[in-house]
Amino acid sequence: MLKRERQAFILHQVNIHNKVLSSGLSEEMKVSEDTIRRDLQELSDEGKIIKVHGGALSCSFSHVGYPSEKIYSHTHKKIIATKALSLIQDGMFILTTGGTTIMELARILPMQLKATFVSCSIPAILEYSNHPNIDVIVIGDKLSKNSKITVGGDAIAAIRQIKADICLLGVNSIDIEHGVTDSDWEVVQIKKAMIESAKKTVCLTISEKVNTVQPLRICGLHQIDILATELPPENPLLQPYVNAGIQVL
Protein backbone atom coordinates (compact mmCIF):
# COMPACT_ATOMS: atom_id res chain seq x y z
CA MET A 1 0.00 0.00 0.00
CA LEU A 2 1.38 3.40 -1.00
CA LYS A 3 1.92 6.11 1.61
CA ARG A 4 -0.89 8.22 0.18
CA GLU A 5 -3.27 5.25 0.43
CA ARG A 6 -2.14 4.44 3.97
CA GLN A 7 -2.63 7.97 5.17
CA ALA A 8 -6.04 8.27 3.51
CA PHE A 9 -7.08 5.04 5.26
CA ILE A 10 -5.75 6.28 8.61
CA LEU A 11 -7.54 9.62 8.28
CA HIS A 12 -10.80 7.87 7.39
CA GLN A 13 -10.54 5.58 10.43
CA VAL A 14 -9.83 8.54 12.71
CA ASN A 15 -12.85 10.38 11.31
CA ILE A 16 -15.13 7.38 11.82
CA HIS A 17 -13.95 6.17 15.23
CA ASN A 18 -12.43 9.40 16.68
CA LYS A 19 -9.44 7.42 17.94
CA VAL A 20 -7.07 4.86 16.39
CA LEU A 21 -4.32 2.68 17.82
CA SER A 22 -0.99 2.26 16.04
CA SER A 23 -1.01 -1.47 16.74
CA GLY A 24 -4.44 -1.91 15.19
CA LEU A 25 -3.55 0.08 12.09
CA SER A 26 -0.34 -1.90 11.71
CA GLU A 27 -2.26 -5.16 11.79
CA GLU A 28 -5.00 -3.98 9.42
CA MET A 29 -2.60 -2.61 6.81
CA LYS A 30 0.14 -5.25 7.24
CA VAL A 31 2.90 -2.71 7.78
CA SER A 32 5.26 -2.05 10.69
CA GLU A 33 4.30 0.16 13.62
CA ASP A 34 7.30 2.36 12.76
CA THR A 35 5.70 3.03 9.36
CA ILE A 36 2.39 3.84 11.06
CA ARG A 37 4.10 6.19 13.52
CA ARG A 38 5.74 8.08 10.67
CA ASP A 39 2.40 8.37 8.87
CA LEU A 40 0.71 9.61 12.04
CA GLN A 41 3.45 12.17 12.57
CA GLU A 42 3.06 13.51 9.03
CA LEU A 43 -0.73 13.73 9.37
CA SER A 44 -0.29 15.46 12.73
CA ASP A 45 2.20 17.94 11.26
CA GLU A 46 -0.38 18.75 8.59
CA GLY A 47 -2.99 19.43 11.29
CA LYS A 48 -5.27 16.57 10.17
CA ILE A 49 -5.10 14.50 13.37
CA ILE A 50 -3.82 14.74 16.95
CA LYS A 51 -0.96 12.29 17.55
CA VAL A 52 -0.96 10.75 21.02
CA HIS A 53 0.97 7.95 22.68
CA GLY A 54 0.06 4.70 20.93
CA GLY A 55 -2.14 6.23 18.23
CA ALA A 56 -4.08 9.32 17.21
CA LEU A 57 -7.27 11.28 17.89
CA SER A 58 -9.69 13.23 15.76
CA CYS A 59 -9.09 16.98 15.71
CA SER A 60 -12.54 17.34 17.30
CA PHE A 61 -10.81 16.56 20.61
CA SER A 62 -8.72 19.74 20.36
CA HIS A 63 -11.79 21.94 20.89
CA VAL A 64 -14.27 21.94 23.76
CA GLY A 65 -16.92 23.42 21.49
CA TYR A 66 -16.25 21.90 18.09
CA PRO A 67 -17.81 23.83 15.17
CA SER A 68 -20.59 21.86 13.48
CA GLU A 69 -19.24 22.46 9.99
CA LYS A 70 -16.01 20.65 10.89
CA ILE A 71 -17.71 17.53 12.26
CA TYR A 72 -17.20 14.43 10.13
CA SER A 73 -20.46 13.23 8.52
CA HIS A 74 -22.25 16.19 10.07
CA THR A 75 -25.44 15.84 8.01
CA HIS A 76 -25.83 12.20 9.06
CA LYS A 77 -25.21 13.03 12.71
CA LYS A 78 -27.92 15.70 12.60
CA ILE A 79 -30.38 13.05 11.36
CA ILE A 80 -29.38 10.73 14.20
CA ALA A 81 -29.68 13.54 16.75
CA THR A 82 -33.20 14.30 15.51
CA LYS A 83 -34.17 10.63 15.92
CA ALA A 84 -32.76 10.63 19.46
CA LEU A 85 -34.67 13.81 20.27
CA SER A 86 -37.94 12.00 19.51
CA LEU A 87 -37.26 9.74 22.52
CA ILE A 88 -36.86 12.57 25.04
CA GLN A 89 -39.82 13.77 27.09
CA ASP A 90 -40.36 16.37 29.78
CA GLY A 91 -39.37 15.20 33.23
CA MET A 92 -36.92 12.56 32.04
CA PHE A 93 -33.61 11.80 33.73
CA ILE A 94 -31.13 11.26 30.88
CA LEU A 95 -27.57 9.89 30.95
CA THR A 96 -25.40 10.83 27.98
CA THR A 97 -21.87 10.03 26.94
CA GLY A 98 -19.71 12.35 24.86
CA GLY A 99 -19.05 12.52 21.13
CA THR A 100 -20.03 14.70 18.21
CA THR A 101 -23.47 13.11 17.71
CA ILE A 102 -24.33 13.86 21.34
CA MET A 103 -23.13 17.42 20.73
CA GLU A 104 -25.51 17.75 17.81
CA LEU A 105 -28.35 16.51 19.99
CA ALA A 106 -27.48 19.04 22.69
CA ARG A 107 -27.60 21.83 20.11
CA ILE A 108 -31.13 20.98 18.89
CA LEU A 109 -32.83 20.46 22.25
CA PRO A 110 -35.94 22.66 22.29
CA MET A 111 -35.77 25.61 24.66
CA GLN A 112 -39.04 24.59 26.34
CA LEU A 113 -37.81 21.08 27.22
CA LYS A 114 -37.71 20.42 30.97
CA ALA A 115 -35.48 17.46 31.75
CA THR A 116 -32.36 16.50 33.69
CA PHE A 117 -29.21 15.61 31.79
CA VAL A 118 -26.38 13.77 33.52
CA SER A 119 -23.01 13.63 31.80
CA CYS A 120 -19.24 13.20 32.21
CA SER A 121 -18.56 14.98 28.90
CA ILE A 122 -17.22 18.51 29.29
CA PRO A 123 -18.31 19.66 25.78
CA ALA A 124 -21.81 18.18 26.25
CA ILE A 125 -22.17 19.75 29.70
CA LEU A 126 -21.31 23.18 28.29
CA GLU A 127 -23.91 22.75 25.54
CA TYR A 128 -26.58 21.64 28.02
CA SER A 129 -25.82 24.67 30.20
CA ASN A 130 -27.02 26.95 27.38
CA HIS A 131 -30.61 25.68 27.72
CA PRO A 132 -32.82 27.61 30.18
CA ASN A 133 -35.04 24.74 31.37
CA ILE A 134 -32.58 21.86 31.50
CA ASP A 135 -31.07 20.77 34.80
CA VAL A 136 -27.49 19.55 34.41
CA ILE A 137 -25.74 17.10 36.73
CA VAL A 138 -21.98 16.92 36.26
CA ILE A 139 -20.27 13.62 37.08
CA GLY A 140 -16.85 14.64 38.31
CA ASP A 141 -13.53 12.83 38.77
CA LYS A 142 -10.26 12.64 36.87
CA LEU A 143 -10.44 14.36 33.46
CA SER A 144 -9.38 12.34 30.42
CA LYS A 145 -7.70 15.00 28.29
CA ASN A 146 -7.94 12.79 25.21
CA SER A 147 -11.70 12.24 25.35
CA LYS A 148 -12.70 15.38 27.32
CA ILE A 149 -14.74 13.31 29.78
CA THR A 150 -14.34 12.56 33.47
CA VAL A 151 -13.32 9.00 34.25
CA GLY A 152 -12.31 6.92 37.24
CA GLY A 153 -13.73 5.15 40.25
CA ASP A 154 -15.56 8.14 41.75
CA ALA A 155 -17.31 8.88 38.44
CA ILE A 156 -18.39 5.25 38.10
CA ALA A 157 -19.62 5.14 41.71
CA ALA A 158 -21.65 8.33 41.16
CA ILE A 159 -23.24 6.96 37.97
CA ARG A 160 -24.24 3.78 39.82
CA GLN A 161 -26.26 5.87 42.28
CA ILE A 162 -28.46 7.11 39.42
CA LYS A 163 -31.61 5.48 38.05
CA ALA A 164 -32.03 7.17 34.68
CA ASP A 165 -34.95 6.84 32.29
CA ILE A 166 -32.66 6.55 29.29
CA CYS A 167 -28.98 6.38 28.38
CA LEU A 168 -27.96 7.94 25.07
CA LEU A 169 -24.75 6.19 24.11
CA GLY A 170 -22.39 7.55 21.48
CA VAL A 171 -20.95 4.44 19.82
CA ASN A 172 -17.58 3.87 18.15
CA SER A 173 -18.28 0.34 16.91
CA ILE A 174 -21.20 -2.09 16.91
CA ASP A 175 -21.28 -5.60 15.53
CA ILE A 176 -23.70 -8.53 15.68
CA GLU A 177 -21.18 -10.93 17.21
CA HIS A 178 -19.16 -8.62 19.47
CA GLY A 179 -21.80 -6.08 20.47
CA VAL A 180 -20.72 -2.53 21.30
CA THR A 181 -16.96 -2.00 21.49
CA ASP A 182 -14.45 0.82 21.97
CA SER A 183 -10.70 1.39 22.24
CA ASP A 184 -10.40 3.43 25.46
CA TRP A 185 -10.40 1.39 28.69
CA GLU A 186 -11.51 4.22 30.99
CA VAL A 187 -14.29 5.36 28.65
CA VAL A 188 -15.51 1.77 28.37
CA GLN A 189 -15.92 1.57 32.17
CA ILE A 190 -17.97 4.80 32.19
CA LYS A 191 -20.24 3.55 29.40
CA LYS A 192 -20.75 0.20 31.13
CA ALA A 193 -21.85 1.99 34.30
CA MET A 194 -24.24 4.22 32.35
CA ILE A 195 -25.89 1.24 30.65
CA GLU A 196 -26.36 -0.49 34.01
CA SER A 197 -27.92 2.66 35.51
CA ALA A 198 -30.55 3.31 32.83
CA LYS A 199 -33.93 1.71 32.20
CA LYS A 200 -33.34 1.93 28.44
CA THR A 201 -30.15 2.22 26.36
CA VAL A 202 -30.04 3.89 22.95
CA CYS A 203 -27.00 3.55 20.67
CA LEU A 204 -26.35 6.50 18.37
CA THR A 205 -24.01 5.84 15.45
CA ILE A 206 -23.39 6.65 11.81
CA SER A 207 -23.77 3.60 9.60
CA GLU A 208 -20.04 3.49 8.82
CA LYS A 209 -19.49 2.24 12.37
CA VAL A 210 -22.04 -0.56 12.01
CA ASN A 211 -20.42 -4.01 11.64
CA THR A 212 -17.05 -2.75 12.91
CA VAL A 213 -15.17 -3.91 16.00
CA GLN A 214 -12.83 -2.23 18.50
CA PRO A 215 -10.59 -4.05 21.01
CA LEU A 216 -12.64 -3.51 24.18
CA ARG A 217 -16.20 -4.77 24.74
CA ILE A 218 -18.78 -2.48 26.36
CA CYS A 219 -21.87 -4.69 26.15
CA GLY A 220 -23.69 -7.31 24.14
CA LEU A 221 -26.63 -6.55 21.88
CA HIS A 222 -29.03 -7.92 24.50
CA GLN A 223 -28.30 -4.81 26.59
CA ILE A 224 -29.25 -2.43 23.76
CA ASP A 225 -32.88 -1.38 23.37
CA ILE A 226 -32.72 1.04 20.44
CA LEU A 227 -30.27 1.69 17.61
CA ALA A 228 -30.38 5.00 15.73
CA THR A 229 -28.42 5.63 12.53
CA GLU A 230 -28.93 8.00 9.61
CA LEU A 231 -30.36 5.13 7.54
CA PRO A 232 -34.05 4.26 7.28
CA PRO A 233 -34.96 1.36 9.61
CA GLU A 234 -35.73 -0.97 6.68
CA ASN A 235 -32.19 -0.70 5.26
CA PRO A 236 -30.73 -4.23 4.78
CA LEU A 237 -27.60 -3.28 6.76
CA LEU A 238 -29.76 -2.93 9.88
CA GLN A 239 -31.91 -6.07 9.45
CA PRO A 240 -29.64 -8.32 11.56
CA TYR A 241 -30.09 -5.89 14.47
CA VAL A 242 -33.85 -5.95 14.04
CA ASN A 243 -33.65 -9.76 14.04
CA ALA A 244 -31.65 -9.55 17.28
CA GLY A 245 -34.60 -7.81 18.95
CA ILE A 246 -33.36 -4.24 18.83
CA GLN A 247 -35.73 -1.42 17.89
CA VAL A 248 -34.14 0.42 14.95
CA LEU A 249 -34.97 4.06 14.30
List pLDDT tens digits, range 115-149.
999 999 888 898 899 899 999 999 988 887 777 88
Statement to judge: residues 80 and 43 lie in one domain: no
- Band of pLDDT at residue 20, cut at 50, 70 and 90: confident
**What are the tens digits of pLDDT across the range 144-167?**
777 788 889 999 999 999 999 999
Q: Which of 62, 92, 108 is the last residue of a domain?
A: 62
Kindly report the CATH number assigned to the domain that includes residue 23: 1.10.10.10
Is there a single domain that holds both residue 123 and residue 180? yes
Q: Which of 186, 210, 183, 209 is nearest to 23 (CA)?
A: 183
Confidence of residue 249 (pLDDT cuts 50, 70, 90): very high
The helix/strand/coil state of 5 is helix
Q: What is the DSSP letter of 30?
A: T
Tell me which residue of 101, 143, 98, 96 sits closest to 116, measured CA to CA: 96
- Starting from the edge strand earliest in sequence, which strands make up the sheet with 201-204, in order? 134-138, 115-119, 93-96, 166-170, 201-204, 226-228, 247-248
- Domain CATH for 112: 3.40.50.10470
What is the pTM assigned to this prediction? 0.82
Domain boundaries, position 80: 68-248
> Between β-strands 216-219 and 226-228, what pairing exists: parallel, antiparallel or unpaired?
unpaired
Structural domain tally of the chain? 2
